[in-house]
Amino acid sequence: MNNTGSVTILQKYQRKRLNQRSQTLLVLAFGSIFLLAITVIGTLVGDIAITTNFTQKNFLPQIAHPFGTDWLGRDMLARTLKGMSISIYIGLFASVISAVIAAILGAAAATLGKKVDAVITWFIDLVMGIPHLLLLILISYAIGRGTFGVVVAVAISHWPVLTRIIRGEILQLKEANYIKIAGKLGQSKMKIVVKHMIPHVFPQFLVGLVLLFPHAILHEAALTFLGFGLPPEQPGIGIILSESMKYLSLGMWWLALFPGMVLMTTVLLFDLVGGSLRKMIDPHSAQE
């Protein structure tokens, strides 16, 4: 019975062909390059985006105009890239502002005692109680329509979720044994915060920031689409799609299809890049 020449395989884990690390890095690299390319090209595209050319009106997509042209003969690819880069800038700015608000409020809620925590938590509930898009409409109504309005609206309305995350992280850290021990050992509060808290929370903050991007971009586009955001002379993605509505029934499908796809791809890539970053700093989410 003890002739253990062969060993029974009890369980075999099906590994992926590409390991998780390479896959994550690949997504991160490709996503970042693609997004950077859209931003840079969109910024450099300049006047082509607004140059009208009445000899080239309503062209179907073709080699010279991959996304076609509109009723004023403007190249849709150039308009789309320009519009997308504007959206990315706004998204970047808005995300940073929201993330900073979130960091301050989250840290305050977690460290300044029960009362402050209750107030901030209540305030989060309050802001999350108004459907986000309606809140955006209200804020841009308060500030006045236009670029400034949409930037402020998007920037000051995206903090609640990240605030909750940061608050939770810090609260958890405060309970962690090594922090408590550091406190008992007489390390100063300042030192604990700088040496132990920030290095742990900062990566979470960074990931949260990147994951705010897609929301900010989508909301900017939506608000602009509804007529509250960027002014019509800007080639914003929301403007392009809003205008395309009028030409849909004329069969000009390319006016809506391609710009929307670029918007979707951008949002998706930001999401994937954020997700990859999270996997890098939080290996438990990659335990597969």
Q: Which residues bind another protein (CB under 8 A)?
A: 1-2, 4, 6-15, 19-21, 24-25, 122, 125-126, 128-134, 137-145, 214, 218, 221-222, 225-228, 241, 244-245, 248-249, 251, 253, 256-257, 260, 263-265, 267-268, 271-272, 279-281, 283, 286-288
Between residues 64 and 126, which has the closer beta carbon with respect to another protein? 126
Asked if residue 218 lies in contact with residue 268, where contact means CB atoms within 8 angstroms, the answer is: no
Between residues 107 and 201, which has the closer beta carbon with respect to another protein? 201
Q: How many Å apart are CA 141 and CA 95, to the nearest integer?
A: 21
Between residues 6 and 55, which has the closer beta carbon with respect to another protein? 6
Residue 190 C-beta: closest distance to another protein, Å: 26
Residue 246 C-beta: closest distance to another protein, Å: 11
**202: CB partners within 8 A, 6+ apart:** none
CB atoms within 10 A of CB 216: 27
Asked if residue 98 lies in contact with residue 216, where contact means CB atoms within 8 angstroms, the answer is: yes
Q: How many Å apart are CA 138 and CA 112, to the nearest integer?
A: 31
Between residues 65 and 219, which has the closer beta carbon with respect to another protein? 219
Residue 115 C-beta: closest distance to another protein, Å: 16
DSSP state of 69: B
Q: How many Å apart are CA 244 and CA 225, to the nearest integer?
A: 10
SS3 139: helix
Q: How many Å apart are CA 154 and CA 98, to the nearest integer?
A: 8
Amino acid at 210: V
Residue 152 C-beta: closest distance to another protein, Å: 12
Residue 21 C-beta: closest distance to another protein, Å: 4
Between residues 59 and 213, which has the closer beta carbon with respect to another protein? 213
